[in-house]
Amino acid sequence: MKTIKNLAIIGIVALMTSCASTAKFPVSSSVPAADITAKKKQDKNNNYVIEVTARNLAEPSRLSPSKNNYSVWILVENGSVKNLGQLINKNAKKAILETTTPFNVKEIFITAEEQGDSNYPYGLEISSTTFNK
């Protein structure tokens, strides 16, 4: 009975992870120690849940030139750019942004910005990646 239960749990976990698309950001020349990944999955309302995780990300104030925050942006199917939010980096170990959007994300990128509420990326691009799905 225990074996069947364990197999069922493994099967459920495999199904849940197979529905998500994961993209790894390439190494950035601005913050080379940063290890950044993004996950995209569709929820029951046909929205997309995006989770960006950055490990070892330097404070934006340590960049040259100094910035105030990291903003996460998406490029959607129609070619427009949307601001998803900010990566809050309280310690260099791990910064996470999890948000929901109605847009099917094709490309995601991170910039270092002066202001986090911009409608268009003006700052230094840290890194970008694309989703296969």
Residues 41/49, Cβ–Cβ less than 8 Å: yes
User: What is the per-residue pLDDT across 45-103, written as a single tens digit (0 to 9) for each?
Assistant: 999 999 999 999 988 988 888 999 999 999 988 889 999 999 987 666 889 999 999 99
Per DSSP, helices labelled H in the chain are 2-18
User: Rounded to 5 degrees, what are φ and ψ at 48?
Assistant: -110, 130
pTM above 0.85, yes or no: no
> Does 101 or 117 have the greater pLDDT score?
101
- 40 in Cβ contact with 53 (< 8 Å): no
Q: Does 2.60.40 match the CATH number of domain 22-130?
A: yes
> What is the C-alpha to C-alpha distance for residues 66 and 90, in angstroms, rounded to an integer?
17
Contact status, residue 22 vs residue 37, Cβ threshold 8 Å: yes
